[in-house]
Amino acid sequence: MRTFSIIALCVVLLTPYTTQALIVSKFGGTIAVVVPCTCQAGFALTIVSLAPPSVKVLLWQLPFTRPTLWFIPYPSVKTLGTYVRGGVCATGPLCIPLPVMGTIFRIGTSLK
């Protein structure tokens, strides 16, 4: 029994552990489309940036998303913030998942 305990302790202590860091990315641009997620609380925002040209679809989901300044996302509003990878926006009567790049962590919007 003692040798089994020593072997088990050595295996536990010598086994490498892998961790994943929370990678935060930045975004900015104009909100082009807002799609409500009907199967959970949230919105899928399509954000278009002109420099560099890019289109990102991100998930706005409270309480994870921390809005600052003006709180309501709607089309034609300028926005800036950070997001983390992951998230699902399910919509429609059959709860079809929309592909999103990530979930918005912090966001600030302009008034117009």
111 vs 18: CA distance, rounded Å: 44
Return per-residue pLDDT of the chain as tens, 112 residues.
Answer: 677 777 766 555 666 655 556 788 899 999 999 988 888 888 898 999 988 888 999 998 878 888 776 667 788 888 888 999 888 889 888 888 888 999 988 888 887 6
Q: Which helix (H) or strand (E) holds 7?
A: helix 2-14
60 vs 79: CA distance, rounded Å: 12
Domain 19-109 has CATH 2.40.50: yes
In one-letter notation, the amino acid at residue 77 is V
Nearest to 46 by CA among 86, 79, 13: 79
- Confidence at residue 69, expressed as pLDDT on a 0 to 100 scale: 67
Q: Which residue in this structure is represented by tokens 């305990």?
A: 5
Nearest to 75 by CA among 55, 52, 48: 48
Residues 6 or more apart in contact with residue 90 via CB below 8 angstroms: 37, 38, 39, 40, 96, 97, 98
